[in-house]
């Protein structure tokens, strides 16, 4: 059993930079940006001093709303050095989701990019915080968000009330290196350093508090299951705001001194070009990403001969896709990982030498130092091997809890420290697990977790809607799609297009129902509870899905 590390994220980078200063740490191929570990450590230290110059204290919350930019990566490790908690924001968020997160997280600082695709982040921010336009940078007074003080914008342009990233880097000169060292030494490995929002079955997203200890050890164990070493070069096209990007990706690389090769925004051509040009040995992705890459007309023209390993995760991995990744991409040691944000995030993973049948029919076995058991749902009673039950896990990787939500924390983690995942699974005699279903109503669309309750709560605000139920339906491309069953108020009429238009710009695109049906009633139990599984069956009949 491997030893657990008692080290902070900031110290980890320090050590790797000392051990292999000239080894390549970060490559942004399309920007021609390359840092050795020594250079990367230096730029992270500079940003950490810049954050301290802004007056950001240890334990304060810094939210970041951007794609896989170099500044995101630098923020991850610089907050790890000066002790601010990095709050990751989904790049698909719209106004109401962003406002909720900033308020619930008590963030004092927001780092954001100007725009993502056709969505102006800046316009959204001014919509939420009209006071910003007339504010002095660093002195925001917002009635709705009283804790928020600093806005840092990535990019060349300057905007009223905000700092640029360059401003922050320049301000670092007012903080001595010794002051940063003192701060770094004061951090404890059990301090919370990262907060990610995961939607709850009971409505609004919850802030999962993860510590240095949670994340560093999870990343190290993930790397060990992939046999990752400092000789590896990992292409990371999955978003940093998910644990997939910032734990299975960047942090796993740093634990072993491997080279990180991020792709800022996913495009199948850019991924394969990067893997070819940078001779990447590892590639991460959700199944839909691998499918898009394999289905490119010009797929055969890319040289992927260096590819060896990687992780496919985020939703069920179809057997044919897995075989194609092994046979056509040459990633013979690709692994499958399963987990959830509350477990920082990986609980089980296949190993590189597992036979392909095992790698596609299971989600692997527990990581080192992680306990997994299958219990009768609603109890702590373990079921025999081969019998379905709820997967529970215990160990160093279980979150500190949900931010400002002790009730939800108690519901998720029992008094013996077991995290109840809400996922149904079967474990075989060798400890390998298969995920067979879900106790909760979560929908997984292309690797994004969607909770029906959140969309329902939003649609209840529509003036014509009396009641709404959201279910997931199978989809070949994304794994699952969102379907809404709506009961309208007496005398009202509406079209699916009208409902979709109402959602546009207010909730993330991937949450907008793809299918909308109007109904007069829902299937109910005798006690008046809506039977979602029956609604799901009805949905599949209606859409002629199997």
In the numeric block, the tokens 């922050």 are attached to 168
Contact 460, 443 (CB under 8 A): no
Q: What is the pLDDT of residue 460?
A: 84
Q: Which residue in this structure is represented by tokens 């495009």?
A: 267
On the question of pLDDT at 505 being above 90, the answer is yes
**What is the distance between the alpha carbons of residues 404 and 348, in angstroms, rounded to a whole number?**
28
pLDDT in the model for residue 200:
47
Peptide bond into 345 cis (omega under 30): yes
pLDDT one-digit tens code per residue, 212-269:
999 999 999 999 999 999 999 999 999 999 999 999 999 999 999 999 999 999 999 9
Going by their DSSP bridges, the two strands 346-349 and 333-339 should be labelled as antiparallel
pLDDT at 369: 96
> What distance, in Å, lies between the first and last C-alpha atoms of the chain?
44
pLDDT of 527? 46
Q: Does domain 9-327 have CATH number 3.40.50.12780?
A: yes
Give the tens place of pLDDT for each residue, 6-31.
Answer: 999 999 999 999 999 999 999 999 89
Stretch 490-495: mean pLDDT, rounded?
94
Confidence of residue 546 (pLDDT cuts 50, 70, 90): low
Spell out a b/e string for 487-515, using b for 16 or more CB atoms within 10 Å of the CB, else e.
ebeeeeebeeeebeebbeeebbebbbbbb
pLDDT at residue number 525: 57
Q: What is the CATH topology of the domain spanning 448-542?
A: GMP Synthetase; Chain A, domain 3 (3.30.300)
What does the pLDDT read at residue 545?
Answer: 75
> What is the spatial distance between Cα 51 and Cα 45, in angstroms, rounded to a whole number?
10
**Residue extent(s) of CATH 3.30.300.30 domains in the chain:** 448-542
| Mean pLDDT for the chain overall | 94
pLDDT higher than threshold 50 for residue 201: no
In this predicted structure, the answer to whether residue 499 has a pLDDT above a threshold of 80 is: yes
Confidence class for position 1, pLDDT limits 50, 70, 90? low
DSSP strand pairing (365-366 vs 346-349): antiparallel
Q: Is the pLDDT of residue 305 over 60?
A: yes
Which pLDDT value is given to residue 4?
96
For residue 494, what pLDDT band results from cuts at 50, 70 and 90? very high
Q: Which residues contact 27 (CB under 8 A, 6 or more apart)?
A: 33, 34, 233, 259, 260, 261, 278
- Could you give the CA distance from residue 140 to residue 161 in angstroms, rounded to a whole number? 7
pLDDT in tens, 328-351: 999 999 999 999 999 999 999 999
> CA–CA separation, 337 vs 344, rounded Å?
12
Q: In this predicted structure, which of 305-314, 372-381, 519-528 has the lowest mean pLDDT? A: 519-528
Q: Taking the mean position of all CA atoms in its chain, how far away is CA 291? A: 20
Structure token digits, residue 97: 């989701």
Q: Give the residue from 47, 78, 82, 84 showing the smallest Cα distance to 180.
A: 82
The residue behind tokens 């709850």 is 200
Taking only the tens place, the pLDDT of each residue in 425-469 is 999 999 999 988 777 777 889 988 887 878 988 998 899 998 899
pTM: 0.87
Q: List the Cα angle 544/545/546 in 5-degree steps.
A: 125
For residue 170, report the phi and psi dihedrals to the nearest 5 degrees. Answer: -70, -40
Q: Where in the chain is the domain with CATH 3.40.50.12780?
A: 9-327
Cβ pair 410, 432 in contact under 8 A: no
Please tell me the predicted confidence (pLDDT) of residue 456: 87
Q: Rounded to an integer, what distance in angstroms lies between the CA atom of residue 195 and that of residue 17?
A: 26
- Alpha carbon distance 16, 452 (integer Å): 43
Judged by DSSP in three states, 278 sits in coil
């Amino acid at each position: 059993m491997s030893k657990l590390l008692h080290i902070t994220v900031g110290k980890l980078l320090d050590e790797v930079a000392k051990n292999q200063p000239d080894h390549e740490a970060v490559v942004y191929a399309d920007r021609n940006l390359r840092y050795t570990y020594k250079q990367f450590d230096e730029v992270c230290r500079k940003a950490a001093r810049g954050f301290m110059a802004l007056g950001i204290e240890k334990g304060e919350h810094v939210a970041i709303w951007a794609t896989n930019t170099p500044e995101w990566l630098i923020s991850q490790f610089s907050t790890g050095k000066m002790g601010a908690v990095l709050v990751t924001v989904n790049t698909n968020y719209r106004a109401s989701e962003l406002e909720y997160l900033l308020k619930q997280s008590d963030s004092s600082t927001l780092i954001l990019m100007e725009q993502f695709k056709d969505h102006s982040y800046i316009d959204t921010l001014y919509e939420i915080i009209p006071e910003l336009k007339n504010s002095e940078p660093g002195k925001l007074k917002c009635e709705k968000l009283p804790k928020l003080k600093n806005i840092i914008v990535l990019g060349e342009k300057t905007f009223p009330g905000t700092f640029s990233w360059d401003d922050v880097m320049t301000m670092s000169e007012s903080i001595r290196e010794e002051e940063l060292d003192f701060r770094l030494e004061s951090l404890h490995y059990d301090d919370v350093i990262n907060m990610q929002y995961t939607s709850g079955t009971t409505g609004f997203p919850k802030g999962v508090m993860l510590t240095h200890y949670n994340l560093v050890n999870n990343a190290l164990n993930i790397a060990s299951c992939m046999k990752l070493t400092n000789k590896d070069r990992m292409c990371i096209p999955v978003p940093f705001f998910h644990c997939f990007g910032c734990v299975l990706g960047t942090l796993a690389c740093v634990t072993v001194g491997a080279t990180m090769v991020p792709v800022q925004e996913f495009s199948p051509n850019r991924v394969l070009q990067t893997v070819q040009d940078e001779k990447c040995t590892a590639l991460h992705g959700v199944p839909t990403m691998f499918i898009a890459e394999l289905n490119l007309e010009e797929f055969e023209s890319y040289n992927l001969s260096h590819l060896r390993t990687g992780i496919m995760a985020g939703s069920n991995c179809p057997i044919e896709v897995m075989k194609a990744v092994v046979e056509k991409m040459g990633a013979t040691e690709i692994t499958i990982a399963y987990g959830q944000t509350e477990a920082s995030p990986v609980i089980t993973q296949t190993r590189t030498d597992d036979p392909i049948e095992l790698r596609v029919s299971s989600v692997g076995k527990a990581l080192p130092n992680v306990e997994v058991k299958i219990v009768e749902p609603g109890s702590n009673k373990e079921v025999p091997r081969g019998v379905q039950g709820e997967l529970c896990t215990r160990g160093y990787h279980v979150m500190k809890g949900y931010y400002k939500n002790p009730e939800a924390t108690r519901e998720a983690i029992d008094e013996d420290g077991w995290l109840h995942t809400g996922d149904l699974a079967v474990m075989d005699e060798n400890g390998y697990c298969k995920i067979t279903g879900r106790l909760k109503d979560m929908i997984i669309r292309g690797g994004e977790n969607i909770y029906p309750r959140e969309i329902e709560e939003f649609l209840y605000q529509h003036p014509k809607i009396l009641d709404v139920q959201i279910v997931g339906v199978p989809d070949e491309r994304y794994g699952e799609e969102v379907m809404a069953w709506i009961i309208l108020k007496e005398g009202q009429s509406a079209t699916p297009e009208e409902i979709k238009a109402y959602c546009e710009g207010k909730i993330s695109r991937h949450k907008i129902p793809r299918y909308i049906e109007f109904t007069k009633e829902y299937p109910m139990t005798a006690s008046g509870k809506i039977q979602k599984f029956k609604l799901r069956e009805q949905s599949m009949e209606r859409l002629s899905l199997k």
